[in-house]
């Protein structure tokens, strides 16, 4: 009897499933300025369209820092943060047909049911039962496990032969730079473009803008180290905005401004630069997440036939971007500067929060 009992115990230990695990570790928001890496409840399948994903790699986004600085009131204390990552399917609901236990997946930062009016227009960012909810309205990916609603439309199979950490760049930053910066900005062959802000999103715009062969790419930032990176990755011109009058310099070096000005910071000053450097017929594509209003110089702009765009990523270009990563047309792993274990996430936040001092671009956390 005694031996049998021990054997049973051993057996149950060897087939530990998440169903038996009731808690895990996650990075929880506690209100402005407060985060903690603590024990939280394991996610469970709540709808037949859900999947539970065991995180393999995740990262911290500028948006997470915005949440931490109180810029995003929709995020309630107690929410696990994070909306990017690669993982392995642990469990699926009965209606999930495209994925099964053991599949390796890229998690889109945008959840999409695939059936609502917005989804039918590929505006997944505004899905009636999704959009940006991960690490915002529901618990996110900076944890050991995450629940992904509408798994069929919100996950992507990982291709063979590409590192997981490379694929993490496809969750958010690459599609955001590409869709909201480059596509909305209508970058065309021969264009002169300016990207204001050389953080991960600005750099993603820099990498993906080159699909469309612009003639000149200005990269503008305060941080000389980031400008050096930008030069290596395809910028033809860099301007340190701390040392130069950006507007004056661009207007003197171009005929009458740039065809496309991409805003990748999210503060009034950078938007202001964009609206002053755009030439007649050009585009201002705002990517930045703004916390306050800007002064739109409509008195100067109305006569110039310009287009101003802004928006939330839809991630509808993930499949296309995946092909360019597989073919090595772009190498988004260039953006990764730091590696941490998931349980070192507090340290990772500190490093990412002091990006200029730490020379940090994208940090990878491994579960």
The footprint of Zn ion (CB under 5 A) covers 61, 63, 113, 116, 119, 127, 172
Question: Of 63 and 80, which CB lies nearer to Zn ion in the complex structure?
Answer: 63
CB of 281 to Zn ion, least distance (A): 31
Alpha helix ranges (H) inside 80-186: 117-120, 151-154, 164-168, 173-176
CB of 324 to Zn ion, least distance (A): 20
CB of 164 to Zn ion, least distance (A): 17
Which phi-psi region, left, alpha or beta, contains residue 183 (left: φ > 0; alpha: ψ -120 to 50)? alpha
Taking alpha carbons only, the member of 299, 272, 269, 267 closest to residue 284 is 272
Question: Of 86 and 246, which CB lies nearer to Zn ion in the complex structure?
Answer: 86
Q: What is the largest CA-CA distance in the chain?
A: 90
> Residue 42 in contact with residue 53, Cβ under 8 Å?
no
Question: Of 83 and 237, which CB lies nearer to Zn ion in the complex structure?
Answer: 83
Question: Of 53 and 168, which CB lies nearer to Zn ion in the complex structure?
Answer: 168
CB of 155 to Zn ion, least distance (A): 15
CB of 310 to Zn ion, least distance (A): 16
**Tokens 């110089």 — which residue?**
297
HSE value, Cβ hemisphere, 13 Å, CA-based, for 201: 24
Question: Of 63 and 166, which CB lies nearer to Zn ion in the complex structure?
Answer: 63
Question: Of 43 and 149, which CB lies nearer to Zn ion in the complex structure?
Answer: 149
Q: For residues 294 and 286, what is the distance between their CA atoms, to the nearest angstrom?
A: 12
Span between the terminal Cα atoms of the chain, in Å: 39
Q: For residues 309 and 129, what is the distance between their CA atoms, to the nearest angstrom?
A: 24
**Tokens 């080159």 — which residue?**
210
Angle at the Cα of 89 from the Cα atoms of 86 and 91, rounded to 5 degrees: 150
Question: Of 63 and 192, which CB lies nearer to Zn ion in the complex structure?
Answer: 63
Q: What is the enclosing helix (H) or strand (E) of 10?
A: helix 2-14
CB of 187 to Zn ion, least distance (A): 22
Question: Of 113 and 191, which CB lies nearer to Zn ion in the complex structure?
Answer: 113
CB of 122 to Zn ion, least distance (A): 10
Q: For residues 172 and 83, what is the distance between their CA atoms, to the nearest angstrom?
A: 8
Q: Looking at beta carbons, which pairs linking 34-43 to residues 24 or more positions away fall under 8 Å?
A: 34/68, 34/77, 35/68, 35/81, 35/346, 35/349, 36/346, 37/343, 37/345, 37/346, 40/80, 40/139, 40/143, 42/18, 42/145, 43/139, 43/145, 43/146, 43/147
Question: Of 50 and 113, which CB lies nearer to Zn ion in the complex structure?
Answer: 113
> Residue 364 in contact with residue 338, Cβ under 8 Å?
yes
Question: Of 119 and 273, which CB lies nearer to Zn ion in the complex structure?
Answer: 119
CB of 30 to Zn ion, least distance (A): 20
CB of 176 to Zn ion, least distance (A): 7
């Amino acid at each position: 009897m005694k031996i049998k009992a021990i054997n049973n115990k051993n057996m149950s230990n060897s087939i530990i499933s998440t169903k038996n695990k009731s808690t895990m570790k996650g990075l929880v928001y506690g209100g402005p300025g407060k985060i903690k890496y603590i024990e939280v409840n394991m996610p469970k399948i709540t709808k037949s369209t859900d999947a539970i994903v065991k995180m393999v790699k995740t990262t911290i986004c500028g948006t997470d820092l915005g949440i931490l600085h109180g810029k995003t009131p929709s995020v309630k204390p107690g929410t696990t943060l994070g909306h990017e990552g690669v993982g392995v399917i642990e469990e699926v609901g009965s209606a999930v047909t495209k994925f099964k236990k053991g599949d390796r997946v890229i998690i889109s930062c945008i959840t999409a049911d695939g059936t609502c009016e917005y989804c039918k227009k590929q505006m997944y960012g505004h899905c009636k039962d999704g959009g940006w909810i991960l690490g915002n309205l529901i618990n996110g990916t900076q944890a050991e496990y995450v629940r992904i609603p509408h798994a069929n439309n919100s996950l992507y199979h990982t291709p063979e032969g590409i590192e997981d950490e490379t694929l993490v760049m496809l969750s958010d930053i690459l599609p955001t730079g590409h869709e909201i910066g480059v596509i909305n900005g209508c970058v065309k062959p021969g264009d002169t473009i300016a990207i204001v802000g050389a953080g991960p999103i600005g750099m993603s715009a820099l990498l993906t803008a080159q699909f469309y062969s612009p003639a000149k790419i200005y990269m503008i930032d305060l941080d000389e180290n980031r400008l050096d990176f930008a030069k290596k990755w395809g910028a033809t011109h860099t301007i340190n905005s701390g040392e130069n009058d950006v507007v004056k310099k661009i207007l003197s070096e171009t005929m009458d401004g740039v065809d496309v000005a991409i805003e990748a910071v999210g503060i009034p000053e950078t938007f202001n630069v964009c609206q002053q450097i755009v030439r007649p017929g050009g585009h201002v594509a705002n990517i930045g997440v703004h916390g306050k209003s800007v002064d739109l110089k409509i008195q100067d702009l109305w006569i110039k036939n310009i287009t101003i765009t802004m928006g939330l990523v839809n991630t509808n270009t993930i499949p296309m971007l995946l092909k360019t990563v597989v073919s090595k047309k772009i190498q988004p792993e260039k953006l990764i500067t730091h590696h941490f274990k998931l349980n070192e996430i507090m340290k990772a936040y500190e490093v990412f929060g002091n990006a200029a001092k730490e020379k940090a671009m994208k940090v990878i956390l491994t579960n």
